[in-house]
Structure 1
Amino acid sequence: MSLHPTLQPYADAWTHSIDAISEMVQSLPDGEWNRRTPCPGWSVRDIVSHVIGMDCEMLGDPRPIHSLPRDLFHVTTEHQRYTEIQVDVRRHHTAPEMTAELEYTVIRRNRQLRNESRDPGTMVRGPLGTEVTLEQAYRMRAFDVWVHEQDLRAALGRPGGLDSPGAHVARDLLLEALPKVVAKDADAPRSSAVVIDVHGPVEFLRTVRVDIQGRGTLETAPALGPAVALTLDWETYVRLACGRISPESAADRVKTEGDPDLAAAILRHFAVTP
């Protein structure tokens, strides 16, 4: 194995989630491919199409030349338009075509991982023609595939994987977004603190402190007398942070203490995925 140690956890997380996805859809009846998922606007087929398409891009395959129809109302941003190309181009593929392409793509990606010898800092193609480091690309693939594994599990009634390697990648990535959510988006008062207490398969307690300049930082130490404290389970945290559910629909699963207006503002801006 020539994979750099920094990349190995992300490769392991991707492998765990892609295997789970492959197992879920391998014998899926035709009608189930059109089942709606928690990911806005996407069916089971669309999720699998996205996973295939993004891994094809990791392999360096050229992007499809395809024009999107005008009636995709869930597509409103340039990032979403970029992502939707790989999805829409496969919308009329049959179940055997989907599973065959998924299997072939996974074989190719596994071969790529076995032979990967590049440095984690190597610049590679990212979304919208941007360049990102190889480490960031691997990290985002692990996160993305795990989140979509959860979408498929929810749609197909196959719960699980909430404490898998991908879950821990997702935890770290989502936590990095919290200071901006609290300090900038929710406009928390300066010299204040907000505590997030998450329980379940993945547990953590984090404090976002807002300094006198209005900048937020993430800490592991609990704050005494925080402006707001939010307590919720890990699955609800993920679904809120990934825009799968609204704060209103999760009201019975989120315990809030402190300033109700600030708590509402934080939850209103909690979704951080594109």
Structure 2
Amino acid sequence: MTVHSKLQSYIDAWTHSIESINEMVSPLTEGEWSRATECPYWSVRDVVSHIIGFECELLGDPRPIHTLPSDLRHIVDENARYTEVPVDIRRHHTAPEMTSELEYTIIRRSRQLRNESRQPDAVVRAIGGGEITLEDQLWARVFDVWVHEQDLRRALDKPGNLASAGAVMARDHLLRSLPRLVAEDAQAGPGSAVVFDVHGPLEFMRTVRVGADGRGTIDSAVSLGPAVTFVVDWETFLRLMTGRVKRSAVDEDRLKTEGDLKLADEILSRIAVAR
């Protein structure tokens, strides 16, 4: 049985990232598991619990039956409640319990993925309900796991993998949101262009162009006379787009804006498109 070549790249990126997480958290002390991360309201333990919970869901394990405490301020809708259940149920697990469950989950999920025989466009159940293609499901898992890998690395002061295969796939996942962010959310005018010039371990430049119909598109071509240019390092770009940091907390040398500052502020105030 051979996994479709298009899916294998996602599986490889997911494997590299989740095994990096496993290696990073295995030696942690009990106190380090409680360290806060930039993922709002979540500790190191919570982030790892989230990863375990969603991978177990894709393995077909039954959802835990659990009532959340009433004082969790960040539970504002049903989606947040759904996500929090597998996190809260593990909040009192010890370090050995966490590491052993993570290792076992990786073994089980890796076996499942090695035996994947479906095509990339096969329709599967999405986490939380609904339908999605298998390719998009795997892409979403690469994105989620790699972003949380970076949450853990920042919390534990263990930087790395900012240009890994998972990083490239996470970048492309984020870039899909830019046309709507610029054209619809920030209401950039027809005919305008916004440039994102990103440097660092993963360097790229993308231009969002707003057409006469008000819809946005994105490409890698250079724009002459853009309405706004953002010059930002890759890690800051990631943190902004995933809601890990607000513009007001970013040092000026890490994010520079040129052009229409009002439009730039509109974009930056809505840039947290993935949390």
The residue aligned with 1:255 is 256
Q: TM-score, normalised by structure 1?
A: 0.98
* Matched length: 274
Are residue 194 (structure 1) and residue 189 (structure 2) matched? no
Runs of at least 5 residues in structure 1 that lack an aligned partner in the other structure: none
CA distance in 2 between partners of 1:45 and 1:187 (Å): 39
Alignment root-mean-square deviation, CA: 1.0
Instruction: Trace 1:53-64 onto structure 2 (pairs within 5 A).
Output: 53-64=53-64
What SS does structure 1 have at the residue aligned with 2:152?
helix
Q: Is the contact between residue 54 and residue 127 of structure 2 (CA under 8 Å) also seen in structure 1?
A: no
**CA displacement at 1:251 relative to structure 2:** 4.5
**CA displacement at 1:127 relative to structure 2:** 2.8
CA distance in 2 between partners of 1:53 and 1:133 (Å): 20
Q: Is the contact between residue 79 and residue 127 of structure 1 (CA under 8 Å) also seen in structure 2?
A: no
**CA displacement at 1:93 relative to structure 2:** 0.8
Identity of aligned residues (%): 61
Note the alpha carbon deviations across 1:102-136, whole angstroms, 9 max, x for none.
01000001111111111212222213311111111
The residue aligned with 1:50 is 50
The residue aligned with 1:132 is 132
Stretch of structure 1 that moved more, 125-134 or 160-169: 125-134
The residue aligned with 2:107 is 107
CA distance in 1 between partners of 2:128 and 2:57 (Å): 12
The residue aligned with 2:237 is 237
CA distance in 1 between partners of 2:33 and 2:251 (Å): 31
The residue aligned with 1:91 is 91
CA distance in 2 between partners of 1:268 and 1:251 (Å): 16
**CA displacement at 1:21 relative to structure 2:** 0.4
The residue aligned with 2:179 is 179
The residue aligned with 2:19 is 19
CA distance in 2 between partners of 1:64 and 1:6 (Å): 33
CA distance in 2 between partners of 1:164 and 1:76 (Å): 34
Q: Is the contact between residue 82 and residue 127 of structure 1 (CA under 8 Å) also seen in structure 2?
A: no
CA distance in 2 between partners of 1:257 and 1:223 (Å): 13
Counterpart of 2:94 in structure 1: which amino acid? Answer: T
Q: Is the contact between residue 58 and residue 127 of structure 2 (CA under 8 Å) also seen in structure 1?
A: no
The residue aligned with 1:273 is 274
**CA displacement at 1:88 relative to structure 2:** 0.8
Are residue 170 (structure 1) and residue 165 (structure 2) matched? no
Q: TM-score, normalised by structure 2?
A: 0.97
Note the alpha carbon deviations across 1:24-53, whole angstroms, 9 max, x for none.
111110111100001000000000000101
